[in-house]
Amino acid sequence: MTVKHYAMVGLFTLGTAVSGVAAAADVEAGKAKAAVCAACHGQNGIAQIPTYPNLAGQNEQYLVSALKAYKNKQRSGGQAAIMQGQAAALSDTDIANLAAYYASLPAGGK
């Protein structure tokens, strides 16, 4: 195999992986899964308690990264222990769906 061939295989693999992640995100499934999140982050992703972050309109990839970091116990401080417990039960598909749902909401909560 040539270097060019390896590069093409790498690009194809990367493209397939990225499109697979995008296809897996289901806003409606995320909305259903978000019911438990509403206790702290609000019904529309706008927290009623000032020390809890708003999730509405947040960057989708940031939410995926944050939830995976909580799940893997790589985030600490603040409410990390609570979030680690919540994220532990989430699959990668659940995480993608939740992130898609919160990213789809208007940041102002309206």
Model pLDDT, residue 108: 82
- Give the class (CATH, top level) of 26-104: mainly alpha
Alpha-carbon gap, residue 97 to 67, rounded angstroms:
11
- Per residue in 21-64, pLDDT (tens digit) is 455 599 999 999 999 999 999 999 999 999 999 999 999 999 99
Please state the pTM of the whole predicted model: 0.77
Check whether 88 has a pLDDT greater than 80. Answer: yes
Alpha-carbon gap, residue 33 to 45, rounded angstroms:
13
| DSSP conformation letters of 29-66 | HHHHHGGGTHHHH-TTS--SSTTSPP-TT--HHHHHHH
Residue indicated by tokens 């995976």? 68
Check whether 17 has a pLDDT greater than 50. Answer: no
Model pLDDT, residue 109: 73
- Per residue in 64-84, pLDDT (tens digit) is 999 999 999 999 998 999 999
- Per domain, the residue ranges of the chain are 26-104
